[in-house]
Structure 1
């Protein structure tokens, strides 16, 4: 068999590389995502929106937790605790930013160490495995591997912020803006999720104020596609 030939996944007969259907049995040679591009892209958009809403909810929980901590501040000052300092995280934001789309699991493992498998679906080119790395305080990183390559990464609360965003600034963000345009209004954001699947790229950035009020912006192929906010004034 020469370099321009391969075998059909169904009947096993020799066929030319790159053909969409086997000339012998008629079986489509493309994977599920290539056969259903429109459905896959819509699915990516829905996932990004769901993640954005979930992150906004996390910001609300953070606000409630902060209020509880404030009410017990006096007693906690006089009591020594065994909790680790906030900057002593094994899985940090800087390590999260080192993970890039298209990496293999071994490359990711070289940065973060062995991950814990959370889920596994599909087979062959469509096999998707999600791994997680969790810190002592619940902050975490998750990475999704599809066909042996990274197609999504996400992080939760790895880095504290005091973004000083307001409803006035939030209202200045419009669909179609680039990240640089958004940054000019809000300042540097914190990347919380990134996806690259079937040529469609998605990112979610978050801005968190001291005390918990926050907002996040979802980008698709470099342009604002959605935004959400929680408790901004």
Structure 2
């Protein structure tokens, strides 16, 4: 059972990490329906030992208004923009005020299962938060059960949250994917258990070509 859950989680993460490649690509046009919905914002309510580096910055605004297990109606209301449906069935919400977006996946019952931050072309202010230089050779040093501080000590800097998602096969177990990004957009990602803050697995991705 654990192997099946791990496989399903890896499949989701392939999609999530693929988003990082998109930082050098194109993004959807802004919606004319964008408005300030701070009074209706739903902050991420899940308690987590994972550090929220830089999430007080405007480019995390949409990301932080979406919580796992929210309904699509709640997300639409909180963000106040018309989403664009992607070919994989997910929805893309564009923040006209920052140029950043959030990609949201919903369950068959219409609840948020995954949210992914999509940054502006070139990484913008978000990538400037990344203070480490990472390499594929560091992946074996990051083992299951480590905490964030141990990972940080290995990689030499802070990780940036890229996604949060429901662990496959559960209803409310949340995992978080943080990335350490080089200037060429090669990256090392680490997925943590949101309850314990412990490492589940890590992966290195080469720079996009």
User: TM-score category by the smaller chain?
Assistant: 0.5 to 0.7
Change (3 A) 1:214 1:96: same
Contact 2:21–2:185 (CA under 8 A) maintained in structure 1: no
* 1:165 paired to 2:133: yes
Q: Which has the larger radius of gyration?
A: 1
Aligned counterpart, 1:72: none
Per-residue deviation, 1:142? 0.9
The two structures have a TM-score, normalised by structure 1, of: 0.53
Q: Tell me which of 3, 6, 11 is aligned to 1:46.
A: 11
Of Structure 1 and Structure 2, which has the larger fraction of its residues in strand? 1
Aligned counterpart, 1:183: 152
Change (3 A) 1:112 1:56: closer
Q: Distance in 1 between matches of 2:5 and 2:82?
A: 27
Answer 1 or 2: higher relative contact order, Cα 8 Å, separation at least 6: 2
Q: Tell me which of 101, 104, 110 is aligned to 1:148.
A: 110
* 1:174 paired to 2:143: yes
Contact 2:16–2:116 (CA under 8 A) maintained in structure 1: no
Per-residue deviation, 1:55? 4.5
* 1:131 paired to 2:91: yes
1:158-196 superposed Cα distances (whole Å, 9 cap, x missing partner): 522242223376553223323343234433311112111
- For structure 2, the residue ranges without an aligned partner over 5 or more in a row are 26-57, 121-125
- For structure 1, the residue ranges without an aligned partner over 5 or more in a row are 1-35, 63-90, 122-128
Aligned counterpart, 2:202: 226
Per-residue deviation, 1:148? 2.7
Please provide the CA RMSD for this pair: 3.7
Change (3 A) 1:216 1:42: closer
Contact 2:162–2:177 (CA under 8 A) maintained in structure 1: yes
Q: Distance in 2 between matches of 1:37 and 1:177?
A: 19
Q: Distance in 1 between matches of 2:2 and 2:186?
A: 37
Per-residue deviation, 1:143? 1.0
1:96-149 superposed Cα distances (whole Å, 9 cap, x missing partner): 13322111223322332133241599xxxxxxx622113569742111222132
